[in-house]
Amino acid sequence: MINVLWAGTERNWSLFEPDLKAGFQRAGLDVDLRTAFADPAQVDYLIFSPDGPLSDLSAFENVKLVQSTWAGVEAIVTNKTLTQPLARMVDHGLSEGMRDYVVGNVMRHHLNTDRFATAKPGEWLSDLCPPLARDTTVGFLGLGALGLACANTIAYLGFNTLGWSRREKSVATFQCLHGDAGLQQVLKQADIVVTLLPLTTDTENLLNADALSKMKRGASIINPGRGPLIDDDALISALKSGQISQATLDVFRTEPLPADHPYWQMPNVLVTPHVAADTRAKTASQVVVENIRRSEAGDPVLYLVDRTSGY
């Protein structure tokens, strides 16, 4: 018998439970899946989210793997009681959701449809001829699973696409850049910048006043990655001056975003409530089941987190 503890939220338990149980059965795994075990030493696997009821992991001395239900792990790797191997959530449901959000908002910025949405009654803005995709450069900061899914789709749609990552990568569908020189090139050339980086000490405030000043005047930003990737004060200043024309922001340092935050009052900012890529039970459960199956079979576990890099 494999003892698996659900250490996520009560709401998500009701969504995940049937898919997890069905998945374990299909995989031929004899699993006792619960929301509580009397003895933590009996638990073999933790299905974990930072917003769940569990914060102290020190008692789970026999746990073989902590499987996160979140794509981002910055709120977990900083937990000093975490000594067990940790796997992040990478699944096609997350990738598809993020792709849809990014593509929809890239097109919104590219076509400048907000101008029509906010036009006065009877205002016929026929002089605003939309550009062609090939005339717009979209830069992606972050080329992990989510970044690649989005960038490949944007490139397929005909946009001039640039990608940047800390380490060198090669992708057939668009130009990849890396390192500080590569970052400066993306900032300089992109009309739209999409941030999909993990949050680490190296990426926090990556888009600060200096970086924003190096972007094209009138460029726009889409951030569905992590709130602290952006220096909020610097972005607000850049939005007011016109250095940045508009921003679509889905993630924030404090969530929910406080009602008195300046972003709410800015006509060139669209705030969305962290909905770009939610974990979907049906697809995420498949990843959980597969990783437990792999661990039990002695096979390499998918998406293990490198504690040194933080992702």
81-93 mean pLDDT:
95
Predicted local confidence at residue 127, as pLDDT:
82
203-225 mean pLDDT:
98
- Which SS3 state, helix, strand or coil, does residue 292 take? helix
H or E, element range at 235 = helix 232-241
**Res 221 pLDDT > 80:** yes
Contact between residue 147 and residue 277 where contact means Cβ atoms under 8 Å apart:
no
Point out the catalytic residue in the list 92, 261, 274, 294.
Answer: 274
Predicted local confidence at residue 180, as pLDDT:
96
42-64 mean pLDDT:
97
Model pLDDT for residues 125-138, shown as the tens digit of each residue: 888 788 999 999 99
Predicted local confidence at residue 126, as pLDDT:
86
Predicted local confidence at residue 250, as pLDDT:
98
Task: Say which amino acid occupies 299.
Answer: D
83-106 mean pLDDT:
96
How far is it, in rounded angstroms, from Cα 44 to Cα 42?
6
Mean pLDDT, all residues of the chain: 96
- What Å distances lie between residue 258 and 50, 154, 250, 273, CA to CA? 21, 32, 14, 11
Using a cut of 0.85, tell me whether the model's pTM lies above it.
Answer: yes
Point out the catalytic residue in the list 115, 253, 255, 307.
Answer: 255
64-69 mean pLDDT:
98
Residue 255 annotated among the catalytic residues of the structure = yes
What phi, psi does 9 have (nearest 5°)? Answer: -80, 160
Question: What per-residue string of b and e applies to 85-101 under the rule 16 or more CB within 10 Å gives b?
Answer: ebbbbbbebbbebbbeb
Predicted local confidence at residue 152, as pLDDT:
98
Residue 226 annotated among the catalytic residues of the structure = yes
**Res 310 pLDDT > 90:** no
pLDDT bucket at 243, cuts 50 / 70 / 90: very high
Residue 61 annotated among the catalytic residues of the structure = no
Point out the catalytic residue in the list 88, 166, 226, 293.
Answer: 226
pLDDT bucket at 311, cuts 50 / 70 / 90: confident
